[in-house]
Structure 1
Amino acid sequence: MSYIIEKSLISDLLDIQEDLKNIQKNLQSLLPDDSLLFDARLILDELICNGIRHGNKEERERLVNLLIEVSEKHLKIEIKDEGEGFKYERDNYDPTALTLGGRGLKIVDGLSDEFYVQDNRVISIKYL
């Protein structure tokens, strides 16, 4: 059996805080341990912020669509924004560069067992 959370969020980080708290409460009841919950919250926060800031350029009327699936075997977090999309090159990230961008996705990539970027859609999968 799996549990699915679907939500469309406006591109305003302050106005979605209550939605994020509710999603995190749901995840807390579904995930088996605190370590996994911590990773899930970090992945979720990074991907939503990335979608709002970089994808939707913080244009409030643009939506970030969220799909979370929790099954006995995995946690899948999928985020899709209304931006143009981009090509993620995991091997080209330089952690010593102080430029804006890339750090959050690299963190999510490291926390994920599987990680995919397809245009304006990002998928993180963690095995349970």
Structure 2
Amino acid sequence: MRLCIPNRLEDVFQALEHAETTLDLASIDDACRADVRLVLEELLVNTVRHGYPDGRHGTIEIKLEARIDAVRLELRDDARPFNPLEHEPPDLPGDLADRDIGGLGLHLARSIASDFEYARDAHGNRVVIRFDPTLSGEPSP
């Protein structure tokens, strides 16, 4: 699957539907499909909400390659620079009910993926995430 969407939330949900179809056609198991969808949704929503603070129009390119033994997700955007690997894991002391809402999505996305890469070039941000369907449902080390 290769798809370019504008940086609008309504287009994020269309992209998620395309991803579901791609994963289904490749016979990816339910646990891995859920992992890919969660990570894709988290990254796309964060990009739309935080990557374009000036309200300008932008484009997000999504590539999804799904095989029974591996899933590769690549996202490119022209948003402001943001390296998700530099985002510190949250401090989780105390009762979860006392925490502010938010802040766990990137940590969760990085812990679900088998491999998570980031690069910035003249065209913008590029994130490549790999999932191993045989490990789905298990947090990575």
Output the CA distance in 2 between the equivalents of 1:80 and 1:37: 21
Output the CA distance in 2 between the equivalents of 1:83 and 1:89: 17
Please state whether the residue corresponding to 2:75 is helix, strand or coil. strand
| Displaced runs of 4 or more, over 6 A | none
Root mean square deviation of aligned Cα? 2.4
Larger Rg: 2
Counterpart in the other structure of 1:21: 17
**Equivalences, count:** 122
Counterpart in the other structure of 2:115: 114
Output the CA distance in 1 between the equivalents of 2:91 and 2:11: 31
Point out where structure 1 has 5 or more consecutive residues left out of the alignment: none
The equivalent position to 1:44 in structure 2, one of 40, 48, 52, is 40
Counterpart in the other structure of 1:89: 86
* Identity value in percent: 24
Point out where structure 2 has 5 or more consecutive residues left out of the alignment: 93-98, 134-141
Instruction: Give the TM-score of the pair, scaled to structure 1.
Output: 0.78
Report the AA paired with residue 27 of structure 1.
L
Instruction: Give the TM-score of the pair, scaled to structure 2.
Output: 0.72
Counterpart in the other structure of 2:62: 66
Deviations 1:61-83 (A, max 9, x none): 20111111113431011111112
Output the CA distance in 2 between the equivalents of 1:122 and 1:36: 19
